[in-house]
Amino acid sequence: MTETTRTGERPETSPPFEFDADTAVEAVGEGRLTAELSGRWGVGPALNGGYGLAVATRAIGRSLGHPDPLTVTGHFTAALEEGSADISVDVAKAGRNLSTAHAELRQGGRERLRTLATFAELPEDPAPELTDGAPPDLPPPEECVGNEPGVPNPFGIAIGERFLYRVPAEEAGRMAGRPKGEASVRCWVRFADGRQPDLLGLICVIDALPPAAAEIGVDGWAPTVELTVHLRARPVPGWLAVALRTRFVQSGYLEEDGEVWDSAGRLVAQSRQLARLPA
Amino acid sequence: MTETTRTGERPETSPPFEFDADTAVEAVGEGRLTAELSGRWGVGPALNGGYGLAVATRAIGRSLGHPDPLTVTGHFTAALEEGSADISVDVAKAGRNLSTAHAELRQGGRERLRTLATFAELPEDPAPELTDGAPPDLPPPEECVGNEPGVPNPFGIAIGERFLYRVPAEEAGRMAGRPKGEASVRCWVRFADGRQPDLLGLICVIDALPPAAAEIGVDGWAPTVELTVHLRARPVPGWLAVALRTRFVQSGYLEEDGEVWDSAGRLVAQSRQLARLPA
């Protein structure tokens, strides 16, 4: 994707950007790759699931003939940790329009993440035929409150330093310990180092906000069992508007639905994850 | 699941029910199974994706120690056809609370469906902690219109004979060629032969309605690329209320979100699929 800025809001830093460096994969054999998972994407001792899913997706892409992840599902079988990972990829289909493969990501001999993905080539101009929805209702980023690049995350959450977040002042309650009583979050997000969004980045972005369920008092880490991301269009440069919502908490599990809209007002990704309630 | 009727609305037929017979899998080796896919679940020459996903999920369940599918994703790499299928299952994790495996389903040596699933044991009483939603607004089944058991489907769609459907009279427009202009469908559904719903059945039920996008004039078969189903509670016997909605059609793809509510008014399944627009 382009690394030139279009909106000119923020000076670009030089590549390699953090996300590209930290999702790099190296082929070491037929369908076998290695990656070095970085603690920069940590949420406490465990790493962010969307980051891990992006690494696995990048590994899968190396084995497929299509450039764009279209639908990606990860099942998280153990916490991801900083350090090296071995990834094996097995191709199910290499078709004309679509190609499909799964990946197994292991650390220390233990499988942490199994990912199933289908790739395609998305059109340059997606020309929406139906848009029954709208970007989240957010004031412009410059009228919102948020963090600054290079400033340590006040909660010690490393991934919180990888992104800039901009939320309406009245939505910033949770940071001050005032849950709003509705399981939804809306927020502007962009990479803190100036990297522009692309499809791979969206897989991480959509999982990089505080959980919507925190807004109704679900405290503690609700580990992701499964995360599915649909990539619906290539994002243009600029801020991304992210909306998360949890509607059902039952049987010990909750779902979280996500949408990401780009700065042109186009839906670029949808997600749903199933997470296990803290015991 | 119980096969006794609770509502008494309809006399039970004797097992084996069609769905149980047609999703049967036989182990033929370590992680290797066979199934006989039945044309009774056809949508034209191809078989219904939810039916195929149920077969694959049943095969996966044979290798896992937990009874209940919790989250299941299938990537459809070729059309499913009537006839025998070979299924291989590989276990990613056999944990205390959760177990995860993937399956590869082949017919005629060609892989048709790759499935990734996590199983758990759902509680008997799911005790919802948050329900931000409601069953679809439907009159009681007896005030709706629909098909009768044993009557051939007027469109020659075999799967349409496996279920009883009950829709409000004003929603039956599509059958009469009058799309309503909104990409949503709501409908009561149950197995036509009296089989009561269970988690495996929900995987098929949630994909067994006409596509919501038909309501906005998307004609022709939109093949499912990927279907994910979250099983959220064990359904009680009786009619199931299903709601489908498509909100975004762009880049040549559309998503369809589904919800299934049981006769006790509880959300029992959520789904999202990505389908490719007819060319």
Per-residue pLDDT reduced to its tens digit, A5-45: 333 344 455 678 999 999 999 999 999 999 999 999 999 88
CB contact under 8 A, B75 and A95: no
Cis amide bond preceding A16, omega within 30: yes
A264-273: average pLDDT: 97
The kind and range of the H/E element at B199 are: helix B199-205
CB contact under 8 A, B131 and A246: no
Cα(A270)–Cα(B225) distance, integer angstroms: 15
For chain A, the first-to-last Cα distance in angstroms comes to 42
Look at residue A45 in the predicted model and tell me its pLDDT. 86
Look at residue B3 in the predicted model and tell me its pLDDT. 37
More confidently predicted of B85 and A2? B85
CB contact under 8 A, B232 and A252: no
Compare all CA atoms of chain B with the CA of A247 and give the residue at the minimum distance. B132
Residues of chain A contacting residue B233, judged by C-beta atoms under 8 Å apart = 250-251
Compare all CA atoms of chain B with the CA of A77 and give the residue at the minimum distance. B93
Compare all CA atoms of chain A with the CA of B77 and give the residue at the minimum distance. A93
CB contact under 8 A, B225 and A77: no
Look at residue A9 in the predicted model and tell me its pLDDT. 41
Residues of chain B contacting residue A267, judged by C-beta atoms under 8 Å apart = 248, 250
Chain A residues 31-90 with CB within 8 Å of chain B? 70-71, 73, 75, 77-78
**A48 pLDDT above the threshold of 60:** yes
> Which of B75, B76, B244, B274 is the mutation pick for testing A, counting most A CBs within 10 A?
B75
Looking at the complex, report in whole angstroms how far the Cα of residue A13 sits from the nearest Cα belonging to chain B. Answer: 31
> Which residue carries 């182990």 as its tokens?
B27
Looking at the complex, report in whole angstroms how far the Cα of residue B162 sits from the nearest Cα belonging to chain A. Answer: 29
DSSP A9: S
Count of A–B CB contacts within 8 Å? 176
Provide the phi-psi class of A23: left if phi over 0, else alpha when psi is between -120 and 50, else beta. Answer: alpha
Looking at the complex, report in whole angstroms how far the Cα of residue B156 sits from the nearest Cα belonging to chain A. Answer: 29
Q: Which amino acid is at A134?
A: A
The kind and range of the H/E element at A256 are: strand A253-261
Residues of chain A contacting residue B230, judged by C-beta atoms under 8 Å apart = 253, 255, 272, 274
Nearest neighbour of A127 by CB, restricted to B97, B130, B250: B250
Cα(A221)–Cα(A43) distance, integer angstroms: 9
Look at residue B129 in the predicted model and tell me its pLDDT. 87
Cα(A52)–Cα(A47) distance, integer angstroms: 7
More confidently predicted of B130 and A221? B130
Residues of chain B contacting residue A248, judged by C-beta atoms under 8 Å apart = 128, 130-133, 232, 267, 270
Residues of chain B contacting residue A253, judged by C-beta atoms under 8 Å apart = 70, 230, 232
Question: What are φ and ψ of residue B276, in 5° steps?
Answer: -95, 135
Judged by a CB distance cut-off of 8 A, whether residue A255 touches chain B is: yes
CB of A65 closer than 8 Å to CB of A94? yes
Q: pTM for this one?
A: 0.93
Compare all CA atoms of chain A with the CA of B251 and give the residue at the minimum distance. A126
User: Given pLDDT bands bounded at 50, 70 and 90, which one contains residue A221?
Assistant: confident
Residues of chain B with pLDDT under 50: 1-11
The residues, ordered by sequence, that sit 6+ positions from B28 with a Cβ below 8 Å of its Cβ are: B34
Buried b (16+ CB within 10 A) or exposed e, A240-257: bbbbbbbbbbbbbbbbbb
A101-125: average pLDDT: 96
A259-275: average pLDDT: 97
Compare all CA atoms of chain B with the CA of A181 and give the residue at the minimum distance. B130
Question: What are φ and ψ of residue B88, in 5° steps?
Answer: -115, 140
CB contact under 8 A, A228 and B102: no
CB contact under 8 A, B75 and A118: yes
Q: Which residues make beta-bridge pairs with B56?
A: none
- CA A199 vs. chain centroid, Å, equals 9
The residues, ordered by sequence, that sit 6+ positions from A223 with a Cβ below 8 Å of its Cβ are: A46, A76, A79, A275, A276
Q: What angle do CA B70, B205, A74 make, to 5 degrees?
A: 35
Judged by a CB distance cut-off of 8 A, whether residue B148 touches chain A is: no
Residues of chain A contacting residue B277, judged by C-beta atoms under 8 Å apart = 129
**A4 pLDDT above the threshold of 60:** no
CB of A37 closer than 8 Å to CB of A50? no
Residues of chain B contacting residue A276, judged by C-beta atoms under 8 Å apart = 97-98
Q: Which amino acid is at B166?
A: R
Cα(B219)–Cα(A237) distance, integer angstroms: 35
CB contact under 8 A, B248 and A228: no
ipTM over 0.90: yes
Judged by a CB distance cut-off of 8 A, whether residue B118 touches chain A is: yes
CB of B208 closer than 8 Å to CB of B25? no
The percent of residues above 90 in pLDDT, for chain A, comes to: 79
Look at residue B171 in the predicted model and tell me its pLDDT. 76
Nearest to residue A2, comparing CAs of A198, A263, A205, A164?
A198
- CA B193 vs. chain centroid, Å, equals 16
Residues of chain A contacting residue B116, judged by C-beta atoms under 8 Å apart = 73, 75, 102, 114, 116
Residues of chain A contacting residue B100, judged by C-beta atoms under 8 Å apart = 75, 77, 114
Look at residue A177 in the predicted model and tell me its pLDDT. 54
Q: Which residues make beta-bridge pairs with B115?
A: B74, B103
CB contact under 8 A, B116 and A118: no
Cα(B102)–Cα(A76) distance, integer angstroms: 13
For chain B, the first-to-last Cα distance in angstroms comes to 42
Burial of B88 (0-12, 13-18, 19+ CB in 10 A): middle
Look at residue A7 in the predicted model and tell me its pLDDT. 39
Cα(B153)–Cα(B159) distance, integer angstroms: 8
A59-85: average pLDDT: 98
Look at residue B222 in the predicted model and tell me its pLDDT. 86
Compare all CA atoms of chain A with the CA of B225 and give the residue at the minimum distance. A118
CB neighbourhood size of A277 (10 A) = 16
More confidently predicted of B81 and A2? B81
**A219 pLDDT above the threshold of 90:** no
Residues of chain B contacting residue A251, judged by C-beta atoms under 8 Å apart = 122-123, 126, 232-233
User: Given pLDDT bands bounded at 50, 70 and 90, which one contains residue A66?
Assistant: very high
Q: Is the alpha carbon torsion for A71, A77, A80, A83 positive or negative?
A: negative
Cα(A124)–Cα(A1) distance, integer angstroms: 12
The percent of residues above 70 in pLDDT, for chain A, comes to: 92
